Structure 1
């Protein structure tokens, strides 16, 4: 059956690698470790395809004394891009050059507060005219080897060993960069087996569509995992598609039409708007779209999605820009709060993961599923023990990692698309590398493998929403994850994504909140339950967060579109970037144990537009608990860490010092360009969010506040400015030290109410 496997189309240069055109010597090559012409290490051989020592690299020395040879020369990057239009292998290398890589890794990027996408690994000036060479590193274990494309990124640089940064290796630091592909040897590959159909042709979608069909059939009972309180309904509007010649016909219909059964399958598209939207539904075009939309008027991504929808046997497609009236504020708000139903009941959500805007298509570049070659060079056949005519598969390991292809993709930079993935039971991810699909489970399937990829970050991850734990409470219980904790991590994941309009900050998260509340039995429909990204039932949990690196509080500019939409300072949503929650006490068994040492919630009120999940305009929270006036010393640490070492002193109402704490790091919510505005010695307020021990040494978490002077002359109104973790000898001793000689913690005008028995205050945070 191996003879029936079609080989990939390669250019003359790539064909030469497997034809042995340059007569390389494969076995026994070893890089000189200490100096040119040093004897090889016979115990650590490094077989290779030669070397490019004329461009600043140490020659490889053959253990039998044969002269070193050059590596196989390949395209420059300039020529590589041209060749990639017709050569499967060149296109695979091009995609590697253009891929976004994590700065460290996905998890580290999140932990340091960076957005959930990577950066270009190659600078434009480095690769513009870089010369390329090819090496083959053989590893007989598992019959998998590496095909290395090495580029000298400064083509005009000549070797000068007196100027080398790394003379031991013989390469100038920063001058050489590699792209590594995997070579797999397939013995007796039998295409009659179902598992091997996806190898037939790297440019053919046939086998992929069949597998997606099978995936949809096998997971057709996904609705059983949805909360019973979520009522199934069709979207308000849908695009009705019918196959035609030469193009399908597209018409906007009323989803509530009685002629459509509520179980009618429809597909939803998740895509990035980018900087332009070529076509969208506005009130004046509603009648026109109902009559029909010219297929040629749709941007490429929409056309691809429509064609794929029909190929999957579905006639209805939902696209936000064509199914929501974009110039109607009332329709937009109404539809935004129905997103939980739209995505949760979709037959499938197609995610245009690699698409930066609607004009680029579902897969902007040809997808390098696998490159199949049949080498004629005897070196390959001898090295792997292949029989003449057998195949090698070449794959890009970068695209075999879900976090590289999906988590780092352009689509997952955007705030609105978070709910589209988190709430959709079944998703087809369309990327440059290949297509992936998954459902409410931790198994993710891909085109070039029939085995599921396990990408399960766990319910406590800040890198990617765990769909299984979201929908399945029993699964979460099995990992001993409190609902409060899981909610906090959903907020952390979402908050790092970008939004075009600030007022959408909590609207784009509203569907996640609605479905989370229904799954976990929260009184979602009760007024005042969901408040600016927090749950009244969980408060004062939800207040205990700090900002990550690169996070910053949003400040609306006077006259801006979002000036009237102000998220209260106590909400994590007032921050753009990573927030970390300090909610370890949520692991306690009872509510009393969880909230011990926390302030008591008196009241919370949030003003929204169009319902609890609409844009937030203002809000406040009233608490009763320990709060102190402190004086801090200005000692900047490292701005990158968004923290400052500060010694602080707790003051009595008469201004004397009650307690001193040295070397404390305070994390400010807003610090960029503001540190110089702070005097070297300033007052602020220290609200204790929770503490471990009342009468012994232990840790605590405090929220830093500024007193707000308002026109209404209200007393005890504060605004959050930061947070800190600290250690002290217990609250009882601290209050006792403050209340000496008839003193108290706060002065008149700094509180709403006071309990003389406990020394606790009632205060408001806006």
Structure 2
């Protein structure tokens, strides 16, 4: 038996680790390094399926901070992936299933439809046929891959919006869009197709961190060596401005899908990444970390609002988290202008629970077209992001007004494009809210789209001139100094409803 010692080879760009390994005489394929730290060349490999299953089983069995493994009420519709008993090789065709209140486990998919994507959908015309069979080969690659992953986990159902919401039916869409909070927060796992910009591209693909084993001769034996490259990692939390945003992180709808999910596996261009309430793990192992209770960049308090007191989150902190979410959300693109508030309603529902918990259960706050009545003075101080700052982050979304009315002018939802909230930590409200209301478009989603809004405030204002185009913002000058904009009002106030 030969022993290889741990060594670290340094390079100006990265480090390579070789771990201890004992070479047994009866080993036909010895490897240097801990196998759990090797990144597969392609995420479609059996080992990748096993890794995801291992992460999920460990979380369900050992993470007390994550939701239990008990069955929950299934969504209105799910796709049965066609498992046949315990046979890993034989499956029947998937089909649409209406559980009618039954309980079970299911996976949810977070993905990009893409422009002009050949996405198979459930419509009023295909509904009955899909309840009988959905031909696997007819589905776009991303959905096929998601079903393959779900089968490998031995989970019977998956929720996919294109198949589980009746497309072209406004009533069904409104009803199911209002249930997004439940769909993603109750899923046992969310599969994140992070690197695919359309449903045709698929989830699986080559992984940049993957390195093929290379043969090495040692003492007459052939040893296979894999390199582990220590790389910089980014947290997948929404408050962070990701340096290399992947396609999924550019879409507005997928923000709440990620924040509300208790467990997510990200299929990235580099490696597999796991997130839950307890752990942040990656396939190469260099970014593995435990998420602590007071982690400021964790969204656990949103998913588990009952822990607000334990996490020392009061209403002031909660409102700041909301404004952070708004800024990230408004950086993201949306295909249908009218969907902006609907794509945020799941987060609003969950946030209402957080605000109630943060105040010790004493009542709830009123939600008004993207703003909270208890934070109205600060909530209305959003501004259009400075052109220089937006361009420096290479954002593809442009500032504009939607073609049709969707929100009152005093709400950030009335515009398209990145917005900013200045860090005014000592802001004191000088207004009284006399009347504030927003009428929901549908009874199915009272925190989604609105038909009208009204706001009457009582307070003192100072006549002035519009010295700067934003209410309050930081402007960059060539001298590399930052100047705080001033609040400036005209001689009278009027709101567009």
What range is the shorter-chain TM-score in? Answer: 0.7 to 0.9
| 2:93 counterpart (249, 254, 262) | 249
1:270 maps to 2:110:
yes
1:419 maps to 2:265:
no
| 2:494 counterpart (694, 699, 718) | 718
Q: Tell me the CA shift for residue 628 of structure 1.
A: 2.0
Deviations 1:224-277 (Å, cap 9, x if unpaired)?
7679xxx953211000121477764111011325xx3x2x00000000111124
Judged with a 3 Å threshold, the aligned counterparts in structure 2 of structure 1 residues 407 and 334 are, in CA distance, closer, same or farther, namely farther
| 1:506 counterpart (319, 341, 346) | 341
Instruction: Report matched runs for 1:348-427 at 5 Å.
Output: 348-366=189-207, 368-375=209-216, 392-395=225-228, 397-398=230-231, 400-402=233-235, 408-427=245-264
| 1:240 counterpart (80, 85, 101) | 80
| 2:166 counterpart (320, 325, 330) | 325
Task: Report the equivalent of 1:607.
Answer: 439
Judged with a 3 Å threshold, the aligned counterparts in structure 2 of structure 1 residues 194 and 330 are, in CA distance, closer, same or farther, namely farther
- Pair member with larger Rg: 1
* Structure 1 alignment gaps of length 5 or more: 6-140, 149-179, 558-562, 587-594, 646-663, 668-700, 708-715, 720-764
SS of 1:284 mapped into structure 2 = coil
Task: Report the equivalent of 2:27.
Answer: none
Task: Report the equivalent of 1:490.
Answer: 325
Q: Distance in 1 between matches of 2:192 and 2:365?
A: 34
Q: Tell me the CA shift for residue 448 of structure 1.
A: 2.0
Task: Report the equivalent of 2:376.
Answer: 539
Instruction: Report matched runs for 1:629-648 at 5 Å.
Output: 629-631=463-465
Instruction: Report matched runs for 1:143-162 at 5 Å.
Output: 143-146=8-11
Judged with a 3 Å threshold, the aligned counterparts in structure 2 of structure 1 residues 420 and 631 are, in CA distance, closer, same or farther, namely closer
Tell whether the 8 Å contact from 1:528 to 1:604 is kept in structure 2 after alignment. Answer: no
SS of 1:268 mapped into structure 2 = strand
Tell whether the 8 Å contact from 2:412 to 2:419 is kept in structure 1 after alignment. Answer: no
Task: Report the equivalent of 1:621.
Answer: 455
| 2:401 counterpart (550, 555, 573) | 555
Tell whether the 8 Å contact from 2:271 to 2:283 is kept in structure 1 after alignment. Answer: yes
Deviations 1:561-615 (Å, cap 9, x if unpaired)?
xx142x22222223421322444137xxxxxxxx4x5211111122331142222
Instruction: Report matched runs for 1:274-353 at 5 Å.
Output: 274-275=114-115, 276-353=117-194
Q: Tell me the CA shift for residue 194 of structure 1.
A: 11
Q: Distance in 2 between matches of 1:212 and 1:487?
A: 31
Q: Distance in 2 between matches of 1:198 and 1:389?
A: 21
Judged with a 3 Å threshold, the aligned counterparts in structure 2 of structure 1 residues 501 and 298 are, in CA distance, closer, same or farther, namely same
Q: Distance in 2 between matches of 1:475 and 1:481?
A: 15
Q: Distance in 1 between matches of 2:31 and 2:225?
A: 18
Judged with a 3 Å threshold, the aligned counterparts in structure 2 of structure 1 residues 392 and 183 are, in CA distance, closer, same or farther, namely farther
Judged with a 3 Å threshold, the aligned counterparts in structure 2 of structure 1 residues 632 and 205 are, in CA distance, closer, same or farther, namely closer
SS of 1:429 mapped into structure 2 = strand
Q: Tell me the CA shift for residue 641 of structure 1.
A: 7.1
Q: Distance in 2 between matches of 1:579 and 1:585?
A: 17
Tell whether the 8 Å contact from 1:548 to 1:642 is kept in structure 2 after alignment. Answer: no
Normalising by the residue count of structure 1, what TM-score does the alignment of the two structures yield? 0.52
Tell whether the 8 Å contact from 2:38 to 2:283 is kept in structure 1 after alignment. Answer: no
Task: Report the equivalent of 1:452.
Answer: 288
* Structure 2 alignment gaps of length 5 or more: 24-29, 391-397
Task: Report the equivalent of 1:210.
Answer: 50
Q: Distance in 2 between matches of 1:233 and 1:338?
A: 12
The answer to which of 199-208 and 530-539 deviates more is: 199-208
Judged with a 3 Å threshold, the aligned counterparts in structure 2 of structure 1 residues 411 and 355 are, in CA distance, closer, same or farther, namely same
Deviations 1:337-379 (Å, cap 9, x if unpaired)?
1001000110100000111111111123356433433456xxx
Q: Distance in 1 between matches of 2:83 and 2:72?
A: 28
Tell whether the 8 Å contact from 2:78 to 2:164 is kept in structure 1 after alignment. Answer: yes
SS of 1:331 mapped into structure 2 = helix
| 2:60 counterpart (220, 239, 243) | 220
Q: Distance in 1 between matches of 2:64 and 2:346?
A: 17
Q: Distance in 2 between matches of 1:505 and 1:579?
A: 17
Tell whether the 8 Å contact from 2:438 to 2:450 is kept in structure 1 after alignment. Answer: yes
Task: Report the equivalent of 2:395.
Answer: none
SS of 1:492 mapped into structure 2 = helix
SS of 2:146 mapped into structure 1 = helix
Q: Would you say how many aligned residue pairs link Structure 1 and Structure 2?
A: 457
SS of 1:293 mapped into structure 2 = coil
Task: Report the equivalent of 2:393.
Answer: none
Tell whether the 8 Å contact from 1:399 to 1:405 is kept in structure 2 after alignment. Answer: no
Q: Tell me the CA shift for residue 543 of structure 1.
A: 1.9
